[in-house]
Amino acid sequence: MTAPTPEELASLSREFALVCDPDGRVLWADARAERFGIRSGVTFSSLCVVGTEAKAAELFRRAAAGPVDGWEMSLVLNGTLTTTSLSGVPRPEGILLVGQPFDERHAKAFTETQAAFDEIITLNREIARQKGQIVQSAEELARTNSELRDSNRGVIALHRELEDRADALAHSSEIKSRVVSSVSHEFRTPLNSIIGLSQLLSDGSDGPLNDEQQKQVRFIRSSAEELMTLVNDLLDLSKIEAGRASLRTMQFTASDLAASLRGSFRPLIAENAPVTLTIEAPEPDFELDTDRAKLSQILRNLVSNALKFTPRGEVRVTIAGSEDGRAVFSVRDTGIGIPRDAIEHVFEEFTQIDNPLQGSVKGTGLGLPIAKRLSEFLGGELTVDSTVGEGSTFTVTLPTKHPDVIEMQQIERRSAEADPGRVPVLVVEDDRRSMFVYERYLAMAGFRVVPARTVQAAREALARELPAAIVLDIVLEDETTWAFLADVKRDERTHNVPVLVVTVSNKRERARALGADEFWLKPIDPERLLSKLKTLVRPGRPAKVLVIDDDERSRYLIRKHLTESNYELLEAATGADGVRLAQRELPHVIFLDFLLEESTAFDVIDDLKANPHTRSIPIVVVTSHVLDAGERTRLAAGTEAVISKQNLSRELAINRIRDALRKSGVEAR
Q: Which helix (H) or strand (E) holds 295?
A: helix 292-308
Provide the strand spans (E) within 573-651. Answer: 589-593, 619-623, 641-644
In whole angstroms, what is the distance from residue 402 CA to residue 395 CA? 18
Instruction: Indicate the fold that domain 13-102 takes in CATH.
Output: Beta-Lactamase (3.30.450)
Which of the residue ranges 523-537, 549-563, 585-599 would you say has the lowest mean pLDDT? 523-537
- What does the pLDDT read at residue 587? 86
Question: Rounded mean pLDDT of 489-504?
Answer: 82
Higher pLDDT, 396 or 163: 396
- What does the pLDDT read at residue 2? 47
Question: Rounded mean pLDDT of 4-11?
Answer: 48
pLDDT tens per residue across span 595-652: 887 788 888 888 888 888 788 888 888 877 777 777 778 877 777 778 777 677 777 7
Strands 381-387 and 313-321: unpaired
Residue 477: band (very low, low, confident or very high) from pLDDT cuts 50, 70, 90: low
In a 13 Å sphere around the CA of 334, the CA atoms on its Cβ side amount to: 11
Q: Which helix (H) or strand (E) holds 568?
A: strand 567-572
- What does the pLDDT read at residue 395? 92
Contact status, residue 427 vs residue 438, Cβ threshold 8 Å: yes
- What does the pLDDT read at residue 226? 63
Of 348-352, 388-392, 431-435, the range with the highest mean pLDDT is 388-392
In whole angstroms, what is the distance from residue 274 CA to residue 279 CA? 17
pLDDT tens per residue across span 260-288: 888 877 777 767 778 888 888 888 889 88
Residue 4: band (very low, low, confident or very high) from pLDDT cuts 50, 70, 90: very low
Check whether 173 has a pLDDT greater than 70: no
Which sign does the torsion angle of CA 180, 184, 185, 186 carry?
A: positive
Question: Rounded mean pLDDT of 563-572?
Answer: 78
Three-state DSSP string of 92-103 = CCEEEEEEEECC
Higher pLDDT, 430 or 22: 22
pLDDT tens per residue across span 430-476: 777 778 778 777 877 778 888 888 888 889 888 888 888 888 887 77
What's the chain's length in residues?
669
Check whether 509 has a pLDDT greater than 80: no
In this chain, the answer to whether the domains covering 142-245 and 250-399 adopt an identical fold is no
Higher pLDDT, 296 or 198: 296
Residue 328: band (very low, low, confident or very high) from pLDDT cuts 50, 70, 90: very high
465-487 exposure pattern, b = at least 16 Cβ within 10 A, e = fewer: eebbbbbbbbbbeeeebbebbeb
Of residues 624, 573, 579, 578, the one with CA closest to residue 597: 573
- CATH number of the structural domain 142-245: 1.10.287.130
Question: Rounded mean pLDDT of 652-665?
Answer: 72
- What does the pLDDT read at residue 243? 57
**Judging by beta carbons within 10 Å of its beta carbon (0-12, 13-18, 19+), is residue 343 exposed, middle or buried?**
middle
> How would CATH label the architecture of 404-536?
3-Layer(aba) Sandwich (3.40)
Residue 189: band (very low, low, confident or very high) from pLDDT cuts 50, 70, 90: low
Instruction: Give the helix, strand, coil percentages of the chain, each rounded to 5.
Output: 50, 20, 30
Enumerate the domain spans of the chain.
Answer: 13-102, 142-245, 250-399, 404-536, 543-664
In the chain, % of residues over pLDDT 70: 80
Residue 3: band (very low, low, confident or very high) from pLDDT cuts 50, 70, 90: very low
- What does the pLDDT read at residue 46? 87
| C-beta neighbour count of 658 within 10 angstroms | 19
Question: Rounded mean pLDDT of 536-562?
Answer: 76
- What does the pLDDT read at residue 142? 83
Kindly calculate the radius of gyration of the chain based on its CA atoms and give it in whole angstroms: 48
Q: Which residues partner with 94 through β-bridges?
A: 91
**Judging by beta carbons within 10 Å of its beta carbon (0-12, 13-18, 19+), is residue 252 exposed, middle or buried?**
middle
- CATH number of the structural domain 250-399: 3.30.565.10
Mean pLDDT, the chain, whole residue set: 78
Of residues 445, 482, 448, the one with CA closest to residue 465: 448
Distances (CA, A) of 327 to 94, 254, 282, 319, 398: 117, 9, 10, 7, 6
Which of the residue ranges 219-233, 491-505, 575-589 would you say has the lowest mean pLDDT? 219-233
Residue 344: band (very low, low, confident or very high) from pLDDT cuts 50, 70, 90: confident
543-664, superfamily in CATH? Response regulator (3.40.50.2300)
Question: Rounded mean pLDDT of 498-525?
Answer: 75
Question: Rounded mean pLDDT of 539-555?
Answer: 78
Question: Rounded mean pLDDT of 93-116?
Answer: 73
Higher pLDDT, 154 or 234: 154
- The amino acid that residue 580 corresponds to is R
In sequence order, what DSSP letters do the residues of 205-248 get, joined into one string?
A: TTS---HHHHHHHHHHHHHHHHHHHHHHHHHHHHHHHTT-----
Check whether 151 has a pLDDT greater than 70: yes
pLDDT tens per residue across span 23-44: 889 999 988 888 888 888 899 8
In whole angstroms, what is the distance from residue 274 CA to residue 289 CA? 36
Question: Rounded mean pLDDT of 143-163?
Answer: 75
Q: Which helix (H) or strand (E) holds 456?
A: helix 455-464
Check whether 172 has a pLDDT greater than 60: no
Residue 309: band (very low, low, confident or very high) from pLDDT cuts 50, 70, 90: confident
- Indicate the SS3 state at residue 519: strand
In whole angstroms, what is the distance from residue 184 CA to residue 254 CA? 34
- What does the pLDDT read at residue 669? 45
Question: Rounded mean pLDDT of 520-544?
Answer: 68
Question: Rounded mean pLDDT of 481-496?
Answer: 84
Q: Which helix (H) or strand (E) holds 253?
A: strand 249-253
Check whether 56 has a pLDDT greater than 60: yes
Check whether 169 has a pLDDT greater than 70: no
Contact status, residue 624 vs residue 645, Cβ threshold 8 Å: yes
Q: Pick left, alpha or beta for residue 665 (phi over 0 → left; psi -120 to 50 → alpha; otherwise beta).
A: left
Check whether 219 has a pLDDT greater than 80: no
- What does the pLDDT read at residue 19? 92
Find the Cα–Cα–Cα–Cα dihedral 88, 91, 95, 101, rounded to 10°. -40
In whole angstroms, what is the distance from residue 402 CA to residue 248 CA? 10
